[in-house]
Chain A
């Protein structure tokens, strides 16, 4: 369908498409097999200015909106959401600085990320704080001119690969959620280290590690915003980033539809290509319907967010749920259409199905998203 993209948006799509077709697709199986971080591919994205898309123009970026980043991630997701996740996580890592950071922090950290010279990561999750962020144990205590961080973050995307980490720590336990703050930690800060790479079901090209803080001392001015505003920043960050996750779902959905339809046209059984059987046609038709409906919602949500940045929670959650549930469903269907071949590692849909699962889990499980949507509905209808 024609979504009447602007000329600049079409350029973003073209660039991301070329990177996907020429760099990601030829390498994705090997990256998956070797659990290998796609540094070369990310470097070519940097050279193509993609890292600058979400960063404001005054800090060396393109000041792109939600839809711009969605379009890029959709293409990357079509190739490999492991690579897409590594890219998206860098943007996620600097959103807190863009949203709440001081001018000094912005000037220091945004230009190298916009240029793709440095990668970023976002540290929220802990062993006892996933969907329930209030369980955070990591602490930050002001000691003279320095903050002292202690604690361990878990499952942090780009861990060990990023140079800039934005992390949430409790600065005042008594205040509950209002006692959390965000900080910038740099690779090489004393007392900061990353754990070994986790072994995952999918998105194996992305790096996932613990972030370990043992009396990690950082300068006082590395706090993002005022003390106690950490949760607000986290929520706004996740609201902004969720359509990107939805976009990865669109990419995977498109890839699954492409692979299985192409296969169904070639595969001959009972003397005919299997696409001539209604049983197969209906599966493919349902895949296409769900994919296009999801795309329409994700693009509309992204445009809404660009136009109404203060009213993004509900639409952001809605598009994440719909597109990622679609991705899971469609990838399962793609494997089904391709039968035994689909289940084999030499065909790409096996990996897509493994990869798709994470989309329903990370950046807020789809159950939590539904909670958010439900709560927003409750609020809206109370105001009537």
Chain B
């Protein structure tokens, strides 16, 4: 089975803060990590490879330093990594991103299955996975919480819904986006880390993938950010006083409107 996993390098959210004075993201000490949802996608790809044979290619779009997440993916069991990177991609929204990834996948070649995290934790849009499927003209199923059965031709899956889950069957090729419940990502192995250290990655430019310049970056993006600002501050915490019992009494009064 040929599996492509789309991964994104994101800033670790625990480090991200907006400086209210300058309106800028504090950049000191912000670590870059593989988007957490993508880690579940990668793990599932490696599990499927172990079960059915085949190979796993990880694909990322981002600045040159995003090869770090490809390297990490190799240490976790992926076989190959491809980065699409070009300054011309800057300003891409989810439409332009899915177009670009689809072009890159055409360049990579055949596939049976594409796995994506449900969403990236920096954008939280959950749009690139479905958009990519549309661009590739294949079906997609989002929020997969369990792979019940897998064969070379068909998958039986549980997709998470707000009030339960649906069990669906789909033949390949298909694109899936995954949620956290799917698996527990492994810890990189020593062999994997050694392989990752030596791994080399294909870096594709806009020209390499034959992208139409009107469809990438800012020009290819229907949406545009007009302003960025910090969320309205929450009010000061009300002080409850006295013994714990007295505090609870005051609390019940304060929240009585909701009860």
- Of the candidates B186, B193, B197, the one whose C-beta lies within 8 Å of that of A44 is B186
Contacts of B214 in A (CB 8 A): none
What does the 1/0 interface line of B110-142 toward A look like (CB < 8 Å)? 000000000000000000000000000000000
> Are B187 and A8 in contact (CB-based, < 8 A)?
no
The verdict on A276 contacting chain B, using a C-beta distance below 8 Å, is no
Interface residues of A in 49-65 (CB under 8 A from B): 49-50, 52-53, 62
What does the 1/0 interface line of B186-223 toward A look like (CB < 8 Å)? 11111101100100000000000000000000000000
Give the number of chain A interface residues (Cβ < 8 Å).
18
The verdict on A221 contacting chain B, using a C-beta distance below 8 Å, is no
Contacts of A49 in B (CB 8 A): 189-191
> Are B188 and A48 in contact (CB-based, < 8 A)?
yes
> Smallest CB–CB gap between B58 and chain A, Å?
19
> Are A15 and B188 in contact (CB-based, < 8 A)?
yes
> Smallest CB–CB gap between B185 and chain A, Å?
9
- Of the candidates A18, A23, A62, the one whose C-beta lies within 8 Å of that of B188 is A18
The verdict on A11 contacting chain B, using a C-beta distance below 8 Å, is yes
SS class, residues of chain B in contact with chain A: helix
What does the 1/0 interface line of A22-51 toward B look like (CB < 8 Å)? 110000000000000000000010011110
The verdict on A12 contacting chain B, using a C-beta distance below 8 Å, is yes
> Are A8 and B194 in contact (CB-based, < 8 A)?
yes
What does the 1/0 interface line of A167-211 toward B look like (CB < 8 Å)? 000000000000000000000000000000000000000000000
Inter-chain CA distance A199–B194, complex, in Å, is 41
> Are A48 and B189 in contact (CB-based, < 8 A)?
yes
- Of the candidates A22, A44, A48, the one whose C-beta lies within 8 Å of that of B190 is A48
> Are A14 and B193 in contact (CB-based, < 8 A)?
yes
Inter-chain CA distance A14–B194, complex, in Å, is 12
A68's closest neighbor in chain B, by CB? Answer: B190
Interface residues of B in 169-194 (CB under 8 A from A): 186-191, 193-194
The verdict on A19 contacting chain B, using a C-beta distance below 8 Å, is yes
Contacts of A47 in B (CB 8 A): 186-187, 189
Give the number of chain B interface residues (Cβ < 8 Å).
9
B184's closest neighbor in chain A, by CB? Answer: A44
> Are A52 and B190 in contact (CB-based, < 8 A)?
yes
Interface residues of A in 78-116 (CB under 8 A from B): none
B185's closest neighbor in chain A, by CB? Answer: A22
> Are A53 and B190 in contact (CB-based, < 8 A)?
yes
- Of the candidates B186, B190, B194, the one whose C-beta lies within 8 Å of that of A50 is B190
Inter-chain CA distance A53–B190, complex, in Å, is 9
> Are B194 and A15 in contact (CB-based, < 8 A)?
no
> Are A15 and B186 in contact (CB-based, < 8 A)?
no
> Smallest CB–CB gap between B45 and chain A, Å?
16
> Smallest CB–CB gap between B191 and chain A, Å?
6
Contacts of B186 in A (CB 8 A): 44, 47-48
Inter-chain CA distance A48–B191, complex, in Å, is 8
> Smallest CB–CB gap between B246 and chain A, Å?
23
Inter-chain CA distance A268–B188, complex, in Å, is 40
The verdict on A2 contacting chain B, using a C-beta distance below 8 Å, is no
Contacts of B188 in A (CB 8 A): 14-15, 18, 48
> Are A23 and B187 in contact (CB-based, < 8 A)?
yes
> Smallest CB–CB gap between A157 and chain B, Å?
24
The verdict on A346 contacting chain B, using a C-beta distance below 8 Å, is no
> Smallest CB–CB gap between B43 and chain A, Å?
11
> Are A48 and B194 in contact (CB-based, < 8 A)?
no
- Of the candidates B187, B194, B197, the one whose C-beta lies within 8 Å of that of A19 is B187
B191's closest neighbor in chain A, by CB? Answer: A49
> Are B190 and A11 in contact (CB-based, < 8 A)?
yes
Contacts of A19 in B (CB 8 A): 187
> Are B197 and A15 in contact (CB-based, < 8 A)?
no
> Are B194 and A11 in contact (CB-based, < 8 A)?
yes
> Are A62 and B189 in contact (CB-based, < 8 A)?
no
- Of the candidates B187, B189, B191, B197, the one whose C-beta lies within 8 Å of that of A7 is B197
A64's closest neighbor in chain B, by CB? Answer: B190
> Are A22 and B187 in contact (CB-based, < 8 A)?
yes
> Smallest CB–CB gap between A346 and chain B, Å?
19
Contacts of A7 in B (CB 8 A): 197
> Smallest CB–CB gap between B190 and chain A, Å?
4
Q: Which of A44, A47, A52, A62 has the most CB of B within 10 A?
A: A47
Contacts of B187 in A (CB 8 A): 15, 18-19, 22-23, 44, 47-48
> Smallest CB–CB gap between B189 and chain A, Å?
4
Inter-chain CA distance A52–B191, complex, in Å, is 10
Inter-chain CA distance A18–B187, complex, in Å, is 7
What does the 1/0 interface line of A229-257 toward B look like (CB < 8 Å)? 00000000000000000000000000000
Could you pull out 29 A-B pairs where Cβ atoms are within 8 angstroms?
Answer: A8-B190, A11-B190, A11-B193, A11-B194, A12-B190, A14-B188, A14-B193, A15-B188, A15-B189, A15-B190, A15-B193, A18-B187, A18-B188, A19-B187, A22-B187, A23-B187, A44-B186, A44-B187, A47-B187, A47-B189, A48-B187, A48-B190, A49-B189, A49-B190, A49-B191, A50-B190, A52-B190, A53-B190, A62-B190
Give 7 nearest A-B pairs by CB, closest first. A49-B190, A49-B189, A11-B193, A48-B187, A48-B189, A18-B187, A19-B187
Which residues of B are interface residues toward A (Cβ below 8 A)?
186-191, 193-194, 197
Kindly list 5 other residue pairs between chains A and B, CB separation below 8 angstroms, not including A12-B190, A47-B187, A50-B190. A11-B190, A15-B187, A23-B187, A47-B189, A48-B188
